[in-house]
Amino acid sequence: MIVGATLNGKHYDMTDPVEAEAFRQAKVALRAKRGSFGMPAIHGDAIYKGSDDGFGRDENSRRIARAAALAAGVNPEGKRYVSGLVRPEVGFGDPAAWVDKGEARSQIRRRCEKEGWECNGRVEVKGRNMEANPTPLDQYEVADDITDAETERTIQEEKLSLTPSEKVVLRQKTKDRLSGKK
């Protein structure tokens, strides 16, 4: 069970549903921005050697990603899964995230150039400016189910008796308080 996570220097308590949702939305915003993301240290074109496929001892993730690759017609043998190449709209298991171990550097470069992603590290690719004024990571709207749960918790804890219109107002105030709108 994940109890905490850090993204861009901010720690999120994953046991708190509000913070977990804030983390999820911040992560989505960061992936959507795709301005710059970490890549593995790359020294030559054949950067991955041996049996390392990018999953270490995580057999479950390996099985899921390999199955998705095979279903899409991509043979993962002799390849490594590079999570930094996952398209946000596809998510984990993206078959396009597999690169040949012998041609990893050039494949990563081509992929970043094709997608317009910036890559910093041993592979340097200047990204396209996707958005002139990207949304800051602290601007998000909390999910409706979290807003509803927090509103109900407030009503129960404070033993409030509200009319339907008062409940709507409380719900909106709760949503505004939980959302990262500045």
Residue-wise pLDDT for 94-113, tens only, equals 898 888 877 788 888 888 88
Distances (CA, A) of 157 to 33, 150, 161: 39, 10, 11
- The pLDDT of residue 23: 77
Helix, strand, or coil (residue 106): helix
- The pLDDT of residue 114: 87
56 burial (CB, 10 Å; 0-12 / 13-18 / 19+) is: exposed
Query: Has this prediction a pTM greater than 0.75?
Result: no
Which residue has better confidence, 28 or 163? Answer: 163
Q: Is 42 left (phi over 0), alpha (psi -120 to 50) or beta?
A: beta
Q: d(Cα 155, Cα 167) in Å, to the nearest integer?
A: 9
Asked if pLDDT for residue 41 goes beyond 50, the answer is: no
Q: d(Cα 83, Cα 112) in Å, to the nearest integer?
A: 13
